[in-house]
């Protein structure tokens, strides 16, 4: 997600820019945040689907082959 410049780097850059002044963030910063936030939500929903559905299916296939299960630690 980081190279070339991707979503996480854009959000980080926007945060740095917004936090650099003593005034409230400009309208353009808020608009950019809304746009990038929407893009982040799409990616997070894809990850949630992978974690909730695809990983379960994958582990079921592994069990059928009698291989060790791959687990993901959830916080």
pLDDT tens for each residue of 10-32: 999 999 988 888 888 889 999 99
Q: Would you state the pLDDT for residue 67?
A: 78
**Residue 30 included in any domain:** yes
**Residue 27 included in any domain:** yes
Q: What percent of the chain has pLDDT over 70?
A: 93
What distance in Å separates the CA atoms of residue 1 and residue 3, rounded to the nearest whole number?
A: 6
Question: Is residue 2 scored above 70 in pLDDT?
Answer: no
Yes or no: say if 69 and 62 are a contact pair by the CB < 8 Å rule: yes
**Residue 15 included in any domain:** yes
Q: What percent of the chain has pLDDT over 90?
A: 48
Region class of 16: left (phi > 0), else alpha (psi between -120 and 50), else beta: alpha
Q: What is the model's pTM?
A: 0.68
**Residue 19 included in any domain:** yes
**Residue 47 included in any domain:** yes
| Structural domains in the chain (count) | 1
Range of the domain at 52: 7-64
**Residue 73 included in any domain:** no
**Residue 70 included in any domain:** no
What distance in Å separates the CA atoms of residue 36 and residue 25, rounded to the nearest whole number?
A: 15
**Residue 59 included in any domain:** yes
């Amino acid at each position: 997600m980081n190279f070339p410049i991707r979503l996480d780097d854009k959000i980080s850059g926007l945060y740095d820019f917004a936090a650099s002044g003593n005034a409230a963030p400009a309208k353009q910063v808020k608009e950019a945040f809304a746009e990038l936030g929407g893009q982040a939500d799409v990616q997070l929903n894809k990850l949630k689907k992978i974690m909730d559905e695809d990983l379960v299916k994958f582990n079921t296939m592994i069990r059928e082959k009698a291989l060790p299960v791959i687990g993901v630690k959830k916080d």
